[in-house]
Structure 1
Amino acid sequence: MSYLTLRHLHITAALLSVGLFMLRGGLALAGHNWRQVPTLRWLPHVNDTVLLSAAISLAWLSGQYPFQQHWLTAKVIALLAYIATGKLALQPELNTNRRACWLLAALACVAYILAVARTRSPWLGLA
């Protein structure tokens, strides 16, 4: 698979991942139990596996690796923060205010990841 094809696959999977997260978060905020929709339980895991596989393949093909490239290290750290905050946001026992705060925190992580990907700078080109 070519680098360009992998890059498009990665971008598409990333957009789908964020879209699915926002859908599940929005349904949870609205009081709907998205866990009763089978597709919303398994599709994010399949998509995130594709996303991670494409990311690893891109790193391998380009010779750019986390802890070697500062911007990739920043993306990995922000990804871990996104996973943690997203997991907290989707916990069923949360009240609406706490859920909304965790959802915003997770989406802030996504915004940072996108900005780092565009600028290839952990400081977003500001330093």
Structure 2
Amino acid sequence: MSYAVLKMIHVTSVIISYLLFSLRSMWMMQGSAVLQQRWVKITPHLVDTVLLVSAITLATRIQQDPIHDPWLSAKVAGLFVYIGLGMMALKFGRTRKTRISAWIGAQAVFLYIVLVALTKNPVLLF
């Protein structure tokens, strides 16, 4: 598979993953029962698996790794923070305020990850 196809798969899965997170967050804020539907619980995991596999494949293909490439380290660290905030926003936040605060934080971390990916610079100074 070519680099261009892998990158397209990766970017597409990033977009779908983000859209699913945003949709699930809106449903959470509305208290919607849709969150309990089977497809809502399974689909994000499938998309995120494609996202992770494509990310690892791309990093391997371009011979970069988080240990030697600071921008990739920043993306991986950001991903862990994003996942933690997402879990707090959608599942573990005890109050609505906590969930919304975590959701806002996740948005900021997602933006950081995207900017690092685009600039290859882990220290973004605006």
TM-score range, shorter chain: over 0.9
Conserved in 2, the CA contact under 8 Å of 1:28 and 1:34? Answer: no
CA distance in 2, matches of 1:103, 1:49: 21
Structure 2 counterpart of 1:98: 98
Structure 1 counterpart of 2:48: 48
Deviates more, 1:34-43 or 1:102-111: 34-43
CA distance in 1, matches of 2:100, 2:81: 16
Q: Which amino acid aligns with 2:121?
A: S
Q: Please show how residues 18-57 of structure 1 align to structure 2 within 5 Å.
A: 18-57=18-57
Deviates more, 1:73-82 or 1:31-40: 31-40
Residues 88-119 of structure 1: CA deviation (Å, up to 9, x unaligned): 10126633221110100111110000010111
Number of residue pairs aligned between Structure 1 and Structure 2: 126
Residues 6-65 of structure 1: CA deviation (Å, up to 9, x unaligned): 001000000101110010011000111333221110000000000000000001110011
Q: What secondary structure, in the 3-state scheme, does the structure 1 residue paired with 2:123 have?
A: coil
- 1:60 equivalent to 2:60? Answer yes
Q: Which amino acid aligns with 1:114?
A: V
Identity %: 38
Q: Which amino acid aligns with 2:32?
A: H
Q: Which amino acid aligns with 1:57?
A: T
Structure 2: unaligned runs, 5 residues or longer = none
Structure 2 counterpart of 1:118: 118
Q: CA RMSD in A?
A: 1.5
TM-score calculated relative to the size of structure 1:
0.94
TM-score calculated relative to the size of structure 2:
0.94
Q: Please show how residues 79-98 of structure 1 align to structure 2 within 5 Å.
A: 79-91=79-91, 94-98=94-98
Q: Which amino acid aligns with 2:19?
A: G
